[in-house]
Structure 1
C-alpha cells in the first residue's frame, strides 16, 4: 500500500505552465488517467496532487481543476498541495480561502527558481508564520546549497509543519553526497520538518543508476529524520526522466527490503495519513 504524496498533473489544454517551454522533456500533457492506470498496478491507493507552478493568475483554477478530477468515481486523488505567493500582500486572504476548503492540505512555493531574497523578505516570513495552527503544511523545494536558508525559515516559524521535497534534491548524478549530507542533517534537527522521499531517480544518471546508487541517500534521510518523519512520493511525471513510476516503486521496495514492516508502513502510508488527516 502506497500513498503518493507528490503527483503532478499537466494538462496544457486546461492551464498555463509558462516554465514548460524551458523544459522540453516535460513539455507534454501528463494526464491523471495515464498516471492512475500505472499507479494502481504499483499498489498506490491514494495520491496528493502537487502544484505545477502554473501562471500565478491560474493558481485557484489549478486547484479547482484537480478537485474536479478528485470528485470522479474511483479517483485516487484525496487532496492537493496548492501554489501560493507568501511574498505578496494578498496572501492572508488567500490563506483564509484555502483553509475553508477541506481538499487543500498544504502549500508550496518553489524556492530554487526565485532569488533567495524572496524567502528572506519580511512579508514572506510573516505570511509563512500565519500558516501555523491551520493544519496546513508548507513544502520546501530547495537545492542543497540553500540548506542554511531552509533552517533559517523553519526556525522563524516553529508552529508550521514543513515538508522537505525530494530528499533536499541531492545531485546524485555528480555524486555530490558530502555537501548534501551535511545540510540535510542540519535540517533534520528541526522537529517541525518532515522529509519527502520522492522522485530522486530524476537526479541520478538515467542510464546507469541502480537501487544501490540511491541507497546511501535514502538511508541517510531515514537515519536523520527517523521513520516517523518521512513520507513517500512519486514526483510523477518528473520521475519519468529517471525511469518512470514503476521503476521508482520497484527501487523503493528494493531499498526497504531490510526494513521492518512497521518502518515500511510509516514511510509508505501511515505518516502521510497522520500528517494530512487522510
Structure 2
C-alpha cells in the first residue's frame, strides 16, 4: 500500500522527555527497557518531528511529581515545538484546585492544558472511581483542563464509569487503552472501548500501539484491527495522533511510528486525516493554530 500524502499540518499530541541527571524514571526497569535509560530531550526530538511534518507537540508527564511538571512548563515557555503540557498533580489532595492554580502561576503556566495520573500503576482497578479521585477530576475540569486517562484494559470499565459520572469534564484516553496487540485479542477491550466512545466528553489517542505489539516483529496489519475499531467507535473527529516518543523507540523510530499511523488512516478522507493528525489535538488541548517552529 502506498503511504498517503502527509496532512498539511501535523501535531504530535503525545511525547515525553526526561533527564536522568535531574530525576530518575523508576518505571524504566529490566533489560528490555534498557534503551530508554538515557536522557531524551526536545533538542533530540525536534528534527525528527520536523522531518515528519510535525510543527507542534504536546509533552506529557512521566512521573507523579509536580517538580517535573514545573520543568515541562518552563520548557514550553522556551523555543521549540512544545505547545502544551499535560502535567501531574495529586488528584486526591483536597487542595487540588490550589495546586493547579499554583502550577499555572509558574513560568510557562499558560501552557498547562491537561493533567495525567498513571492509573495503570494503581493496584486498585477501580482507582478512578474513588470519591477523592473524582473530586480531583472535577477540580481539573473546573480549571478548564483535560484529564489524560492512562489505563490498561482491565481498568477500562472504571474509566467508562468515571467519564459517565463527570459529564462536565473533558477526558482523552491515552494509547487506545493499551489493547493486547501482542496476543491478537480484541475482547473485552473492544467492548469496553466502545462503551467509552459512546460518551461524548472523551477523545482517544492513536498512540502507543507499537509497544503493545511484539517490539521486534510488529506489522501495520497487526495494529490495524485496533486502530480500525477505535476509528469506528470514536470516529475520526475524536481520535488524535501521538508518537509516544521516546517510548516508541523500543519498537520503532519516530518516522516509523508516523508512517504506521498514516497507513492505518489511509482509508480516511483528507479532511478526516487532517482531524486525526492535527485538528483534534488543537481542539482538545486548546493549541494555537500557528506553528511553533516557524520562528524557531
Is TM-score (shorter-chain normalized) higher than 0.5? yes
Deviations 1:78-112 (A, max 9, x none): 11000122122332211222455311001000111
Alignment of 1:34 with 2:44, yes or no, is yes
Partners of 1:143 and 1:20 in 2: CA distance: 18
Residue 253 (structure 1) shift: 1.5
Q: RMSD of the TM alignment (CA)?
A: 1.7
Tell me if the contact between 2:178 and 2:208 (Cα under 8 Å) persists in the aligned partners. Answer: no
- More helix by proportion, 1 or 2? 1
Tell me if structure 2 keeps the 8 A contact 1:3–1:272.
yes
Equivalent residue, structure 2, for 1:63: 69
Q: Using the alignment, how far apart are the partners of 1:180 and 1:270 within structure 2?
A: 27
In the other structure, the counterpart of 2:89 is 84
For residue 254 of structure 1, the aligned residue among 263, 273, 277 is 263
Residue 217 of structure 1 aligns with which residue?
A: 226
Query: 1:39 Cα deviation (Å)?
Result: 1.1
- Is 1:95 equivalent to 2:100 in the alignment? yes
Pick from 44, 51, 55 the counterpart of residue 54 of structure 2: 44
Equivalent residue for 1:111?
119
Alignment of 1:1-278 (within 5 A): 1-21=9-29, 23-54=33-64, 56=65, 59=66, 61-73=67-79, 75-100=80-105, 101-116=109-124, 118-278=127-287
Change (3 A) 1:24 1:207: closer
Structure 1 residues not aligned, in runs of 5+:
none
Per the TM alignment, residue 70 of structure 1 is displaced from its structure 2 partner at its CA by: 2.8
Shift in alpha-carbon separation, 1:84–1:72, aligned structure 2, 3 A: closer
How many pairs align? 273
Q: Which has the bigger relative contact order, CA under 8 A and spacing at least 6?
A: 2
Structure 1: how far apart are the matches of 2:70 and 2:155? 32
* Per-residue deviation, 1:182: 1.0
Q: SS of the counterpart of 1:18?
A: coil
The farther-off stretch of 15-24 and 82-91 is: 15-24
User: Which residue is 2:291 aligned to?
Assistant: none
Q: TM-score if structure 1 supplies the norm length? A: 0.92
Q: Provide TM-score, normalisation by structure 2.
A: 0.87
Residues 98-144 of structure 1: CA deviation (Å, up to 9, x unaligned): 45531100100011101225433221111211222432100100011
Q: What is the rounded CA distance, in whole Å, between the counterparts of 1:30 and 1:138 in structure 2?
A: 24
Mapped contact 2:172–2:202 kept (Cα < 8 A): yes
